[in-house]
Amino acid sequence: MARLLHIDSSVQGDGSVSRRLTARAAGIWRAAHPGGSVVYRDLGADPVPHLDSVGGISRLVPRDQHTDAQAASWALTEELVGEVTAADTILLGLPLYNYGVPSAVKAWVDHLIAPGLSYHPDTMAGLLGGRDFVAIVSRGGGYGEGTPKEGWDHATAWLPHGLAMTGLEPRFITAELTLAQHNPAMSSLVPLAEESRRQAEAAIDKLWPLAVTGV
């Protein structure tokens, strides 16, 4: 049975562009995989804890020496890696916050970097490769080639590196200028924002073509 792991990370609730786009993508996936199952995790509403000095060093301590806090941290890591391992497809909503990933996404990635679970501790080979990983990015401004903030999107630049040890390789669909309709100073950019959204939606609709062709 096909399984989708659908993750949202925006803190904006119903006002989130990335949530609306991942919902569209999840619908396309369901249509293409009748009988498939979906596991949903909302990092915006229910973030996983960041690694700290109390439990976070569980990765560096033999399991039979774990404190209660370290054991709890490791158990959560096992749960999160298990969700990825069980999935054929991973769908991540990735809004750009202060030019980087939401801190909850960073915490999720940190939990995924786990010896013996996501990479081999001796060979360092990633153990989670071979899955389809789609990250749908929403950016409030414009960061494309030739714009004043070209290169300021550190989220899409970082995510492949952050996950590299696991073998996961995300591909990206991006909608930008999402603040144009809410920021009077960006009102002249509304047509570009709408076109960017249309292009993102078109790319989403083509992700799993069986939903469209019925082949």
Cα dihedral sign for 86, 169, 8, 109? positive
pLDDT in tens, 37-65: 999 999 999 999 999 999 998 988 888 99
Beta strands in the chain (DSSP E): 3-8, 37-42, 89-95, 132-139, 170-176
Q: What fold characterizes domain 3-213?
A: Rossmann fold (3.40.50)
Mean local confidence (pLDDT), 3-12: 98
Average pLDDT over the chain, rounded to an integer: 95
Helix, strand, coil share of the chain (percent; to 5)? 45, 20, 40
| pLDDT reading at 70 higher than 80 | yes
Phi–psi pair at 20, nearest 5 degrees: -65, -40
Domain ranges of the chain: 3-213
> What's the predicted TM-score (pTM) here?
0.94
pLDDT in tens, 140-168: 999 989 999 999 999 999 999 999 999 99
| pLDDT reading at 213 higher than 60 | no
